[in-house]
Amino acid sequence: MGRVIIIGAGGVGTVVAKKVAMNHNIFTDIMLASRTKSKCDSIAKEIKESLGVDIKTAAVDADKVDELVALFNSFKPELVINVALPYQDLTIMDACLEAGVNYLDTANYEPLDEAKYQYSWQWAYRERFEKAGLTAILGCGFDPGVTSIFTAYAAKHHFDEIHYLDIVDCNGGDHHKAFATNFNPEINIREITQKGKYYENGKWIETEPQEIHRPLHYPGIGVRESYLLYHEELESLVLNFPSIKRARFWMTFGEEYLTHLRVIQNIGMDSIEPINYNGVEIVPIQFLKAVLPNPQDLGNNYTGETSIGCRIRGTKNGEEHTYYIWNNCSHQAAFRETGMQGVSYTTGVPATVGAMMFFKGLWNKPGVHNVEEFDPDPFLEEVSIQGLPWHEHLDVDIEFEK
């Protein structure tokens, strides 16, 4: 049905490559590209041996538009699945415009020299993609991604107006390491150590990192302390669902994790400012990334599961209702299928399903779009088939007040 190129060969890229290969009837020609071709070759070899599907591989520096354009012109993909670093979103989008290729990613752009992420940089491409007749699908992981589609599904089927939205993300697993991050350490630590922010009554309210927290119960896991963070999907959701009065994002952390994080901050290892060490310029957080466990290597001993969903309060036919929609994902089940842990799996599977929606013509509209702008029904039907079944409860205690 279509030619696709995947950029990025980390944990998420590995999941995407394997899930795309498992759906070879849709993805008829596949290429995996990253800065290090040997990583792509290793993944392709494993896929050939386990699934019998051939995947082409290539080396590309995603920071360089000319290299990307040359690769796109050579392979001629219809869609790029970008699971590289968020610093590289704009160069890949520029290359897509130059080469005439559609685009999908899982996380919004973040400048390398500033721990700040927002959609405005990518939304600025709307007119150019529309004029080129190309589709750009933003934020098609789990959060952002499935959580936004959960919200769209709730608005379509259960509410006339959504008033209060709380996105809750719990990793109830154990990787049996003293300290490790579940995805790129540099991105993860930058995200967690920045100031929190939430939306209420038309305004954005900023908080100190981990300032606001509360215990919440997660299905199949139990009670976990949950911390208010800023997360990018809030920015688009409050625009696309203007009835929202308050929108927040919560994530769980264990005390041991937070203790390690405080030490990292106290000794300056979370800094993104370059320093000179023995005549060599290094960035502390990038050095830290090099010595921490690789998230790709966590899956083998990872136990437990993740639980991510949306807790919503709103009205239908003038009556107030509550609603909880969520997915739980087993780390061990994810590892058995793809060799990666559950956090990579919950990002890679939705990216694959979003690409399927594009090739089926269901999510194919020129311009730049966040996932909640599309019909949620076919996506949620397919994502369940592909390994992420979801559950919903109406009129239950969502543990959040108005």
pLDDT at 308: 98
Facing residues of 105 across strands?
A: 82
Q: Higher confidence at residue 95 or residue 265? A: 95
pLDDT at 400 over 90: yes
Q: What distance in Å separates the CA atoms of residue 182 and residue 211, rounded to the nearest whole number?
A: 22
Q: Report how far residue 85's alpha carbon sits from residue 12's, in angstroms, rounded to the nearest whole number.
A: 11
Q: What residues does each domain of the chain span? A: 2-138, 146-339+387-394
Output the pLDDT for position 113. Answer: 66
Q: Which CATH number fits domain 2-138: 3.30.300.130, 3.40.50.720, 1.10.10.10, 3.40.50.300?
A: 3.40.50.720
Report which of residues 135 and 263 the model is more confident about: 135
pLDDT number for residue 74: 98
Q: Which 3-state string (H, E, C) describes the chain?
A: CEEEEEECCCHHHHHHHHHHHHCCCCEEEEEEEECCHHHHHHHHHHHHHHHCCCCEEEECCCCCHHHHHHHHHHHCCCEEEECCCHHHHHHHHHHHHHHCCEEEECCCCCCCCCCCCCCHHHHCCHHHHHHHCCEEEECCECCCEHHHHHHHHHHHHCCCEEEEEEEEEEECCECCCCCCCCCCHHHHHHHHHCCEEEEECCEEEEECCCCCEEEEEECCCEEEEEEEECCCHHHHHHHHCCCCCEEEEEEECCHHHHHHHHHHHHCCCCCCCCEEECCEEECHHHHHHHHCCCHHHCHHHCECEEEEEEEEEEEECCEEEEEEEEEEEEHHHHHHHHCCCHHHHHHHHHHHHHHHHHHCCCCCCCEEEEHHHCCHHHHHHHHHHCCCCCEEEECCCCCCCC
- In sequence order, the β-bridge partners of residue 225 are 215
Average pLDDT, the chain: 93
Q: For residue 256, name the pLDDT band (cuts at 50, 70, 90).
A: confident
The dihedral through the CA atoms of 63, 106, 212, 269 has a sign that is negative
pLDDT of residue 301: 80
CA distance 184 to 193: 14
- The 10 Å CB-count burial string (b at 16+, else e) for 135-173 is bbbbbbbbbbbbbbbbbbbbbeebbeebbbbbbbbbbbb
Say which CATH superfamily domain 146-339+387-394 falls into: Dihydrodipicolinate Reductase; domain 2 (3.30.360.10)
Q: In the numeric block, which tokens belong to residue 253? A: 């952390």
CB contact set of 124 (below 8 Å; sequence gap of 6+):
none
Provide the pLDDT for residue 272: 79
Neighbouring C-alpha atoms within 13 Å toward the C-beta of 278: 0
% of the chain beyond a pLDDT of 90: 77
Q: How confident is the model at residue 198 (pLDDT cuts 50, 70, 90)?
A: very high
CA separation for the pair 353, 375 (Å, rounded):
13
Convert the pLDDT of each residue in 128-154 to its tens digit: 999 999 999 999 999 999 999 999 999
pLDDT band with cut points at 50, 70 and 90 for residue 183: low
Which tokens belong to 323?
């609603």
Q: Which residues pair with residue 391 across a beta bridge?
A: 326
Using pLDDT thresholds of 50, 70 and 90, give the confidence band for residue 299.
Answer: low
* Averaged pLDDT, 267-272: 81
- For range 312-325, the mean pLDDT: 98
How many whole angstroms from its chain centre is CA 256?
A: 25
Q: State residue 285's pLDDT score.
A: 81
